[in-house]
Copies of this chain bind each other. A is one copy, B any other.
């Protein structure tokens, strides 16, 4: 933990503020007192044992600020104990990663003195979030002052307050100094270098660092494909034998790229301690509804989410909804084809520059409509089903690629396919950059200026940087997680790989897009959105599977495109059958090769496999020893015989003597 906000802010709070809690302006005083007492209370009494202070904004001009804004911090000792609670893995003396324990803190590498700097900022904030989320109701039947906000023993207090609108939001504060350092090394230096992933992880946590790692890796992986694609465009290489070469290269490349990424991500996650830190052992999300039950793995009492209920909801709500949306999507596609035909007919009647440009208009409109539909579906699904990420993925895939599949395999119009692919890709890239970074940035700047002006008016010349910072960040938009960012990369990967042999230039466009994407994403994380809580992640999760599935589908589509091409057909003038059989055979060989390759390349590098196995071995050994120690104690008590397996006996002897005196 680095003391970024100096103690000179002592007029406002007496500790380093890490997390901001904003309660509704009209919150009842007894509820506030109760909540603060719970947050400050000792752990043995069910409190979180954290530090919390109210921020008092000077009221002025009748334009009153919300007075119920609090900052939460913690003592270093409490954070270290919290690190044990959340199960952080840290580098041990011997270079391996071990579960951190407070008692054993001094055996960890990088632990000096009282542990200052041992935990990163993101980890400290994650720990505070965890402690707040697991602040559970005891015997209270409702929140004091709010008879309708019911509680039951074990219910997460913070979550209940949030769902009832009493707690407006809580978020981690930026650390201005660290942020300046990070943004300088990340995107302000104009030199070709890798991103500072460790610093990103230090500041934003593992989930986001892995996303940026993947983005960078994916972009580098596309560079060779882009280089090979350029001559195809420049020299108009329309020979399909060259395209076949390109498709084969593309396929092998995408397989190797995805397999090697697994190894890279395992290496990163091991170093960050998240590879050994299993999700299953963690406390469930504080937001889980449902009754209390026992977690069968950890044996802890915690809310259990009924799985069958979730299943039912998925079938009753999601399936009809997805079907309706897919129908809409197909309907829009058909309208697009009508527009396309209309544009072509106008061009054919009177071919000039204006009607030539008109040819591209339907594609552009369709691309914009697709983006809007994706966005609408995203929010509707979030609202309706809350958990529908796989459906969102599926819908986006169909929405983006349905028209391309239709053009390629039903209409078999390669010229239109290429044009449509290019328009869709370019339009969606431009839209994304605007929607994701520039628009929010512009809105944010306007807001910043307003807040700055208001603060100046309220406080005159007084320098209260913390108050102003909290005021600014409170009004920033919230970053909703990496899902949308991965989804964008997934769709780009689809544009590059599915029809790569028709439009090899796609890789060039995606590389160019991603270079700016790194900068705009970095910028939006640092300056447009609220700082997000760290999300421990060991890999990119479902996206690995999604990318792999896409690369398998791309083998099939590329082989089919090659088979459809007139050039390949020309090689087999008398027998179409023979041609098809050869293409199918090649496809099978490619698929088999892909699977063998995926099987042969180990997912986790050997040296990390060894370290993980060693951790497991040591753990099992420790479990054996622990049980046998307990047992030895029992035999000493029960039988009173001479202990035969009692190693540290002279130490306890000294101890007993000291007690006696």
> Which residues on A are within 8 Å of B, measured CB to CB?
84, 98-99, 101-104, 106-107, 278, 280-281, 296-299, 556, 576-577, 580-581, 584, 588, 610, 613-620, 622-628, 630-633, 636-637, 640, 643, 645-646, 648-649, 651-659
Task: List the B side residues contacting A627 at CB < 8 Å.
Answer: 98, 101, 104, 107
- Contacting pair A617 B297 (CB below 8 A): yes
- Contacting pair B617 A104 (CB below 8 A): no
CB-CB under 8 A for A631 and B297, given A580-B577, A622-B626, A626-B626: no
Q: For the complex, give the distance between the alpha carbons of A495 and B659 in Å.
A: 79
- Contacting pair B643 A297 (CB below 8 A): no
Q: Choose among B84, B626, B651 the residue that contacts A637 (Cβ–Cβ < 8 A).
A: B651
- Contacting pair B636 A651 (CB below 8 A): yes
Task: List the B side residues contacting A619 at CB < 8 Å.
Answer: 616, 619-620, 622-623
State the copy count for this chain.
2
CB-CB under 8 A for A614 and B297, given A648-B633, A656-B657: yes
Q: Can you give 30 A-B contacts (C-beta < 8 A)?
A: A84-B624, A98-B623, A98-B627, A99-B620, A101-B624, A101-B627, A102-B628, A103-B631, A103-B632, A104-B624, A104-B627, A107-B627, A281-B613, A281-B620, A297-B617, A576-B576, A577-B580, A615-B623, A616-B616, A619-B620, A622-B622, A625-B626, A636-B651, A637-B654, A649-B655, A652-B652, A652-B653, A652-B656, A653-B656, A655-B656
Task: List the B side residues contacting A278 at CB < 8 Å.
Answer: 613, 616-617
- Contacting pair B104 A628 (CB below 8 A): yes
- Contacting pair B622 A623 (CB below 8 A): yes
Q: For the complex, give the distance between the alpha carbons of A577 and B574 in Å.
A: 13
Q: Choose among B103, B610, B653, B656 the residue that contacts A296 (Cβ–Cβ < 8 A).
A: B610
Closest B residue to A307 using CB positions: B606
Nearest Cβ in chain B — how far from A283, in angstroms? 13
Q: For the complex, give the distance between the alpha carbons of A410 and B29 in Å.
A: 87
Known: A577-B580, A656-B656. 17 other contacts (CB 8 A): A84-B624, A101-B625, A101-B627, A101-B628, A103-B631, A103-B632, A104-B627, A104-B628, A107-B627, A280-B613, A580-B580, A618-B623, A636-B654, A636-B655, A637-B654, A653-B655, A653-B656
Q: For the complex, give the distance between the alpha carbons of A281 and B618 in Å.
A: 10
Task: List the B side residues contacting A102 at CB < 8 Å.
Answer: 628
Name the residue among A99, A556, A584, A632 with the largest chain B CB count within 10 angstroms: A584
Q: For the complex, give the distance between the alpha carbons of A396 and B102 in Å.
A: 59
Report the 3 A-B pairs with minimum CB-CB distance, sorted nearest first.
A652-B652, A619-B619, A103-B628
Q: Choose among B624, B643, B651 the residue that contacts A633 (Cβ–Cβ < 8 A).
A: B651
Name the residue among A297, A580, A620 with the largest chain B CB count within 10 angstroms: A620
- Contacting pair B646 A655 (CB below 8 A): yes
Task: List the B side residues contacting A297 at CB < 8 Å.
Answer: 610, 613-614, 617
Task: List the B side residues contacting A631 at CB < 8 Å.
Answer: 103-104, 106-107
Q: Choose among B577, B613, B646, B657 the residue that contacts A577 (Cβ–Cβ < 8 A).
A: B577
Task: List the B side residues contacting A636 at CB < 8 Å.
Answer: 651, 654-655
Closest B residue to A595 using CB positions: B552
Task: List the B side residues contacting A617 at CB < 8 Å.
Answer: 278, 280-281, 297-298
Task: List the B side residues contacting A626 at CB < 8 Å.
Answer: 622, 625-626
Nearest Cβ in chain B — how far from A571, in angstroms? 15
Q: For the complex, give the distance between the alpha carbons of A289 and B646 in Å.
A: 39
Q: For the complex, give the distance between the alpha carbons of A626 and B623 in Å.
A: 9
Task: List the B side residues contacting A556 at CB < 8 Å.
Answer: 588
Task: List the B side residues contacting A628 at CB < 8 Å.
Answer: 101-104
Closest B residue to A632 using CB positions: B103
Task: List the B side residues contacting A653 at CB < 8 Å.
Answer: 652, 655-656, 659
Q: Choose among B99, B299, B577, B584 the residue that contacts A576 (Cβ–Cβ < 8 A).
A: B577
Task: List the B side residues contacting A614 at CB < 8 Å.
Answer: 296-299
Nearest Cβ in chain B — how far from A561, in angstroms? 14
Q: For the complex, give the distance between the alpha carbons of A656 and B654 in Å.
A: 9
Task: List the B side residues contacting A640 at CB < 8 Å.
Answer: 658
Closest B residue to A276 using CB positions: B620
CB-CB under 8 A for A624 and B99, given A584-B584, A655-B643: yes
Closest B residue to A105 using CB positions: B631
Q: For the complex, give the distance between the alpha carbons of A104 and B624 in Å.
A: 8
Q: For the complex, give the distance between the alpha carbons of A75 and B552 in Å.
A: 59
Q: For the complex, give the distance between the alpha carbons of A588 and B552 in Å.
A: 11
Task: List the B side residues contacting A633 at CB < 8 Å.
Answer: 648, 651
Q: For the complex, give the distance between the alpha carbons of A581 and B409 in Å.
A: 12
Task: List the B side residues contacting A576 at CB < 8 Å.
Answer: 576-577
Q: For the complex, give the distance between the alpha carbons of A655 and B648 in Å.
A: 12
